[in-house]
Structure 1
Amino acid sequence: MSTRMVYRNIASVGGASKRPGSYEFSAANLSSRSVGRDIDPVIGIDHFHIRAPVFAPHPHAGFSAVTYLFEDGEGEFINRDSLGDRVVAHPGAVIWTVTGSGVLHEEYPATHGKLSHGLQIFVNLPAAEKLQAPRLLFVDGPDVPVRELPGARVRVVTGNSGDVRGKLTAPGDITLLDVKLEPGAAFDESFPADHSVLAYVIKGSAFVGREDRRLGALEAASFAEGDGAIRLRASPSGAQVVLLAGRPLREPVVSYGPFVMNTEQQLAEAFEHYRAGGMGSLAPANGT
């Protein structure tokens, strides 16, 4: 007797909002507001194209700042931080900065004019981890495990897909999958019932969820917790879709600028920690 697959319903649909940009840097932002629903534990996502150093060294605290580079990038990408790390990342890499109590970092393409294309994903940390020491997690592009299926290629950045497990263990048991589908191909992925899921279309278009809702590039669907798999089916143009899943924290969030905490007092303490030099120092490397 065969068991029919159960698929999750879509909770909301939205899209990334493009910001004013330039040849050197442009981005589209995905947030709770643009999706139309809380996407906890994700705070927001910047889908970026960058060809030159743009941002000077800057602080973060209280969350994970995740840079995922797509494979279509043209060159290496540098990440530096006040912990003394200097990572040279190739297309397809993931750089997961667990900012904790606070760290300074900067990121930029290694060669001016060569495109780096990716997502910067801001993932909230639970209260118990917000004040822990910062640390850097990294898996380079060629080292990210890949699951091959008929018509589908899945890069398992974190978490697992089928029997393929990512090499990076992310705080909060976050799953990040980069799914490329040939025209008309389908892909199903199950997640724990207590995890919310976000599907974001990078290229092409795909039919998503039990409703078979068609989403184009820069559009996203949010799925509530519950039993059932996430269904993706590519249109005749094919599709690239990122799936991001995690357990909602449902904790108070107080944020200002680069800091995300649980209380106003913690936020004030983070600013004081930064001003006092407690997050270290980092001189610009590239004239930013």
Structure 2
Amino acid sequence: MIQRTVSSLYTPRNEQGFLGAGHVARSVLTGGFAKTDPFIFLMDDMLDKKDDEPAGGPHPHAGFETVSLLIDGEIKERLESMKKGDFQLMTAGSGTVHTETIDGPTKGRLFQMWLNLPRQDRWVPPRIQILPAEHVPVLHKEGVTMRLYSGSLAGIHSPVKNYTPLIAAEFDMEAGADISVQFPARFNAFLYVISGTVQIAGKDVNHDQVAWLDVSDTEDDSNLTMQAGENGARFVLYAARPTHETIVSYGPFIADTQAEIADLYNQYRNGKMKHIATTPEARKLTY
């Protein structure tokens, strides 16, 4: 079986977040979409908001999915509050509006990814999926706890439905513990370390580092073996099937042509994009 190794390693830098004081943001992915496909970007938002001034607000999206995982703390928003370990996947698809307004003091750390939709699914009707922390499938194995938010891994399965096949898993490993997992060799995959150190094929991946894995153009499975360092390790693994398609990205929209981007802006300005809260109940899934 193909053994996964680390192909690149880097540390994203802290930047001032758009919510103002108390918001530190990191842009986790680098290198452009041709390299990170199907991952468009991943923001690591660290919030320590201490005032009562409203921050954020409603805004549109279309042509992709948002994949949100609250790593720590709690984010109290007007419509979409989350607690530690909650997972949400919003399919913006043909176009929707969602609200991220934080009124009061908030402390939490949120990973939010934009995940590309395959071209044939780009304009599907909007859908929201919510997987509360208490219902996330969990694997306990010899010093390793794995929480599986999306996909199938190590014999357990998430109920979340995917247009783009996606594995999203959080690992919490005791010092010296190890685990091997298998997933398709053609999946693009990376780890983002929250604390401690994890070793992959002889290479240490430390706190705050991003490690991209090598990828093979084959239908076979691959094996990823990970061992925690002397202080243990906590990290998130993302792996997904590339679309091998080009995209046009502008503002809050993803499309295949510039004309489609212009049309999306017209729809939004003319009030034709409905709020995700108005989505039919059949497309609001809570597990």
Conservation of the 8 A alpha-carbon contact between 1:12 and 1:37: no
The equivalent of 2:43 in structure 1 is 46
Q: Indicate conservation of the 8 Å contact 1:63/1:124, yes or no.
A: yes
Q: How many angstroms does 1:221 deviate by?
A: 1.3
Q: Compute the displacement of 1:220 (Å).
A: 1.1
Q: Is the 8 A contact 1:79 1:105 kept in 2?
A: no
**What SS does structure 2 have at the residue aligned with 1:272?**
helix
Structure 2 equivalent of residue 127 of structure 1: 119
Shift of 1:47: 0.9
Partner of 2:29: 31
Q: Residue deviations 1:161-183, cap 9 Å, x none? A: 22211121222110100011111
Percent identity (aligned): 27
Q: Does 1:238 align with 2:232?
A: yes
Correspondence 1:183 to 2:186: no
Measured in 2, the distance between the counterparts of 1:76 and 1:178 equals 19
1:249-288 to structure 2, matched below 5 A, reads 249-280=243-274
Q: Which of residues 98, 101, 110 is equivalent to 2:91?
A: 98
Distance 2:167 2:183 in 1: 9
Distance 2:236 2:185 in 1: 19
2:205 is equivalent to residue 215 of structure 1 = yes
Q: Tell me, what secondary structure is at the counterpart of 2:261?
A: helix
Q: Is the 8 A contact 2:143 2:177 kept in 1?
A: yes
Deviation at 1:133, TM superposition (A): 1.1
More strand by share: 2
List per-residue Cα deviations over 1:219-271 (Å, max 9, x = no partner).
Answer: 11112333421222111111111110111111111111111111111111111
Select the residue among 4, 12, 15 that pairs with 2:11: 15
For normalisation by structure 1, the TM-score amounts to 0.85
Kindly indicate whether the alpha-carbon contact (under 8 Å) linking 1:77 and 1:107 is maintained by their aligned counterparts in 2: no
Deviates more, 1:172-181 or 1:274-283: 274-283
8 Å Cα contact 1:147-1:161 kept in structure 2: no
Once the two structures are superposed, what CA deviation does each residue of 1:39-87 show, in whole Å capped at 9, x if it has no partner?
11001111112244531111111111111012x31x354473xxxxxx4
Aligned-residue RMSD, C-alpha: 2.3
How much has 1:193 moved relative to structure 2? 2.2
Q: Give distance in 1, aligned partners of 2:244 and 2:2.
A: 26
The one-letter code of the counterpart of 1:258 is P
Give the partner amino acid of 2:208.
Answer: L
- Secondary structure at 2:120 match in 1: helix
Structure 1 portions without partners, runs of 5+: 81-86, 284-288
What code does the residue aligned with 1:148 have?
Answer: H
Q: 1:145 aligns with which of 121, 125, 137?
A: 137
263-272 or 13-22, larger mean C-alpha shift: 13-22
Checking the alignment, whether the CA contact within 8 Å between 2:189 and 2:240 is kept in structure 1 is yes
- Write out the 4+ residue segments of structure 1 that deviate beyond 6 Å after TM superposition: none
TM-score (normalizing by structure 2):
0.85
1:173 pairs with 161, 165, 175, which one? 165
Return the offset for 1:282.
Answer: 8.8
Cα 1:95–1:282 shift into 2, 3 Å:
closer
Superposed displacement of residue 113, structure 1: 2.4
Q: How many residues are paired up?
A: 267
**Does the 8 Å contact 2:25/2:46 carry over to 1?**
yes
- In the TM superposition, what is the alpha-carbon distance from 1:106 to its structure 2 partner? 2.0
